[in-house]
Amino acid sequence: MTDDLAGKCILVTGAGDGIGRAAARLFAEAGAHLVLVDRHGAQATADAHCPGALAVEMDVRDGAGWDRLVAEATARFGGIDALVNNAGIAVPGDTVTDASEEMWDDILDINAKGVWLGMRAVLPGMVERGGGHICNVASTAAHIGLPGAAAYCASKGAVLALTRQAGVQYAPLGIKINSVSPGTTMTGIQKNVTDAQRAAFLPLTPIGRFAEADEVARVILFLCSDGASFMAGADVSVDGGMVAM
């Protein structure tokens, strides 16, 4: 189902760890060219899993950086066929009353504004070539309220709404924009989740365990392939049944 990814150029943010790193490895195994972005660790992912990848240390909040990145990727690979907007953060103490303005801005800027900036940077090229895929990584936090995650829930809700809007806007132009909503996944971001939060989430997961990064990455791979040819503005829950409860 993902044979069509061979030779395609896939840009993955948050590629230094977790879901982004797992997705990069699967795309490389499918024969894709990779552009890997993270504040730290993108080169390590390239060295370990993605020979020939373009690895860039960049903050997804940097609009000018996005423009330079897309120009370099286009010069090397001929254009970006799919974007995986995966970069995101979670911070302890994230409640309406406890979060500082700096915390709120950091979470919203990385998790939501970074997604918009990435889409803004790649969409003109996709429109010009008449097609492409974008997979935004949302979260169960976009669907339900999670304790201690006020800004995080708000940011992922924004990602989900933007995915729906852009999915409708660009579908007539051959560009498929969808999202995936992971549940609790065993990635590096878990270091910022308290033991109490993890203990609270597990009983809410009918499958009875947390996800592995590869389980989410396989759905991302699908959403960036021709298998998702009739999907636009859709969200796929990969949460062990949490949102279905």
Catalytic residues: 152
Measured CA to CA, the distance from residue 76 to residue 70 in angstroms comes to 10
Sheet (strand 9-13) strand order: 54-57, 33-38, 9-13, 82-85, 132-137, 175-182, 235-238
CB atoms within 10 A of CB 137: 25
Measured CA to CA, the distance from residue 95 to residue 50 in angstroms comes to 39
Alpha carbon 231 to its chain centroid, in Å, reads 17
- Residue closest to 220 by CA, chosen among 24, 16, 6: 24
CA distances 54 to 47, 165, 191, 198, Å, are: 10, 30, 28, 35
